[in-house]
Structure 1
Amino acid sequence: MKELSVIYVNYHSEAFIKSSILSYIHTTQLELEIIIVDNSGSEEKFIQLLQELPAIRYINAGYNAGFARANNIGISNASATNLLLLNPDTLLPDKVLDTIFHDFSNSNYVAAGAQLLNEDKTPQISGNYFVRGGLNHFLPLPILGKLLKKTALLFNAKKTNLPDSNSLVEVDWINGAFILVKKEVIAKAGLLDEDFFLYAEEIEWCSRIRQYGKLAIFGQHKVIHLESASANEAFQSSGKGYYNLYDKKGLQIMVSNFLRIRKQYGTVWFLIHLAVYSLELPLLYISNAVRSILGRNSFPKGLITGYRKNLASLYKLSPKMIRNQPWFYKVL
């Protein structure tokens, strides 16, 4: 039996996946199987890699199944007792795969991540903590998000994330770019929720996984993550992280975040979030007008219009979410 199954989801990210695999495949001592679940039907672009590396298994999803459904296909076809969900835009140098696997497999943690680094070796947020009702989802809002952040600082509120670590730190949920998980716990917690298309699905999943054991970031192990590179390239978007709520990718982020709030915290918290996001819109118009009067720079072109359109789309989907109706919430 293989020691570790590494699962990639491909959507026009062939070059990233090749670079990622080549960053560790010739140095690892692990018995690996590498599963590529292809959402874009581009097997011909992997032919040479498949011929050269027999450890790779290729599965055509048959449609753009998104992150959750495609990873579930990989999980269901994996033969190892430990699984690694790995983003295409990651690089694993210096035998980090072997060392983190050794530490994880000899621990009592049911899931773990590594310390993610930007290309310039500066740290990325790798682990996170749950906040009551998911209130941290207000932070991307240009006005109310800033107000919430200032209020949190004033009251010295606990941080919602682990910005950097050089040692083992327990967390509530792990960045989806690199998640090591024991297959036995998936049998208890269930697969990723297939209502999600992209974004926030790993948060909801970790909320179920942690009912069966602890999660951690092994901060001493570093993985390069070209944050949002593959997604931005595939969806013609820009910006790192999840603070862009104004274009098509931003709509998917918004919808997925609200879906996660409904599933994890229930209808009341969902409606609270919807009310706050709705309040943000008139505040954007008022703030923009005041900036214009005072001769200050207005918001970036298209920000308010894009936010208004995305909010309207969210309202159309809200009845389904409130009823917790099974639905594939794909808007990209």
Structure 2
Amino acid sequence: MPGLSVIIVNYKTPQLLTDCLATFFSGQNQENLEVIVVDNASGDNSQEIVTRAFPRVKWVQMSYNAGFARANNEGIRQSTSDVVLLLNSDTLNQHNAIEQCYRQFITSDYVACGVQLLNTDRSPQISGNFFMKGGLNYLLPLPYLGSFIKWLGNVVKVEKPNVPDSSALVEVDWINGAFLMVKKTAIEKAGLLDEDFFLYAEEAEWCSRLRKTGKLCIYGQYKVIHLQGESANEAFGSSGKGYYNLYDRKGFQIMLSNFLRIRKQFGVGWYLVQLAFYLFAIPVFFIASFFGNAIRLRNPFADFGMAAQFAGNVGRLLGFTPRILSNKPYFYKVL
């Protein structure tokens, strides 16, 4: 049937979810609207809180913490509309952006779209991205080495791998999974999200397949607040925004998922190239932090704890490498 199915994955974030739904239901035209919450075995009172406040919500209960891809796939399977919106629970609908986006999208030739995501201070977040050869943008978060690579890219004028801010329609290669609207006709051709992923990078890999069926875009004139990283940080006891955390448990999940995507989308060669950079970044981190702190008259060993955490995560990645390279189905969940 025509209409929109909004799929929101919940894991122990009932307050974020109710705040999200409050902004959503207050503006959205509810005709031909389906809202599906897929709960990843939160084990709390999320269902009671949410369904009491929003009785129209269809609650789908997973028996385990299935992560982003598997939970969204279950929501897609149970949806009845021609268009699905994968929406993070830490988003806030602004000025009825979701409905306006849907109305423009449904009459377009695009197979998937997003909107301009904003921080709470209304500064822009990266919402649309372009594929870089071999996923080389994953080198940018590397300590010290990443800053040098970014500087070098600016010197040689390498095109940026993302759209930092958009105010109108921009065609992109992949869309931030916090707000990803997709036509079912494209999903039927491209397939569902890859269920090897637990969390992070799955939307980029999925968009690489969706893009083979048609064009993707960002409608920059529509804005949605995204409390970036809040749902994952709250659930997993981590901190920091974006994908520059490579040091704790959440950081290792990010690293592992990124490398899984590299293997699936770009192949074995690029996987090994990136792995070599990550290994090289370990001694760079220790040496650069030592001399950098010493020059600033600080404790030269101050950052060695963080460097050791980074080295430990790279070591764990090495342990997963034979399995990833084999490309056999496996659930890469470490959180």
Same-fold status (TM-score > 0.5)? yes
Q: Distance in 1 between matches of 2:292 and 2:220?
A: 43
Pair 1:251–1:48, CA change in 2 (3 A): closer
The alignment status of 1:27 with 2:31, answered yes or no, reads no
Residues 299-314 of structure 1: matches in 2 within 5 Å?
300=303, 302-314=305-317
Deviation digits for residues 96-153 of structure 1, max 9, x if unmatched? 1111111111111000000000011110000000001111100000122111111110
Once the 2 structures are TM-superposed, how far is the Cα of residue 329 of structure 1 from its aligned partner?
0.5
Once the 2 structures are TM-superposed, how far is the Cα of residue 182 of structure 1 from its aligned partner?
0.2
Once the 2 structures are TM-superposed, how far is the Cα of residue 29 of structure 1 from its aligned partner?
1.3
Deviation digits for residues 182-225 of structure 1, max 9, x if unmatched? 01110110000000000000000000000000000000000000
**Which runs of 5 or more structure 2 residues have no equivalent in the other structure?**
none
Check conservation: 1:193, 1:205, Cα contact below 8 A.
yes
Residue-pair matches, total: 332
Instruction: Classify the secondary structure of the residue corresponding to 2:181.
Output: strand
Partner of residue 205, structure 1:
206
Check conservation: 1:246, 1:302, Cα contact below 8 A.
no
Partner of residue 334, structure 2:
331
Partner of residue 194, structure 1:
195
Pick from 298, 322, 325: which aligns with 1:319?
A: 322
Check conservation: 1:41, 1:60, Cα contact below 8 A.
no
Partner of residue 113, structure 1:
114
Deviation digits for residues 233-285 of structure 1, max 9, x if unmatched? 11111111000101110000000000000000000100000001000001111
Q: Distance in 1 between matches of 2:92 and 2:182?
A: 19
Q: Distance in 2 between matches of 1:301 and 1:228?
A: 26
Q: Distance in 1 between matches of 2:296 and 2:105?
A: 56
Moved more, 51-60 or 276-285: 51-60
RMSD: 1.4
Check conservation: 2:140, 2:146, Cα contact below 8 A.
yes
Partner of residue 242, structure 1:
243
Q: Distance in 1 between matches of 2:73 and 2:64?
A: 14
Partner of residue 76, structure 1:
77
**What percentage of aligned pairs have identical amino acids?**
50
Check conservation: 2:12, 2:46, Cα contact below 8 A.
no
Once the 2 structures are TM-superposed, how far is the Cα of residue 300 of structure 1 from its aligned partner?
4.1
Once the 2 structures are TM-superposed, how far is the Cα of residue 313 of structure 1 from its aligned partner?
0.5
Q: Distance in 1 between matches of 2:209 and 2:199?
A: 18
Check conservation: 2:144, 2:284, Cα contact below 8 A.
yes
Check conservation: 1:32, 1:55, Cα contact below 8 A.
no
Residues 1-332 of structure 1: matches in 2 within 5 Å?
1=1, 3-30=3-30, 31-42=32-43, 44-297=45-298, 300=303, 302-332=305-335
Q: Distance in 2 between matches of 1:42 and 1:96?
A: 32
Q: Distance in 1 between matches of 2:120 and 2:45?
A: 29
Once the 2 structures are TM-superposed, how far is the Cα of residue 48 of structure 1 from its aligned partner?
4.7
Once the 2 structures are TM-superposed, how far is the Cα of residue 94 of structure 1 from its aligned partner?
1.5
Check conservation: 2:112, 2:215, Cα contact below 8 A.
yes
Moved more, 285-294 or 315-324: 285-294
Once the 2 structures are TM-superposed, how far is the Cα of residue 37 of structure 1 from its aligned partner?
0.7
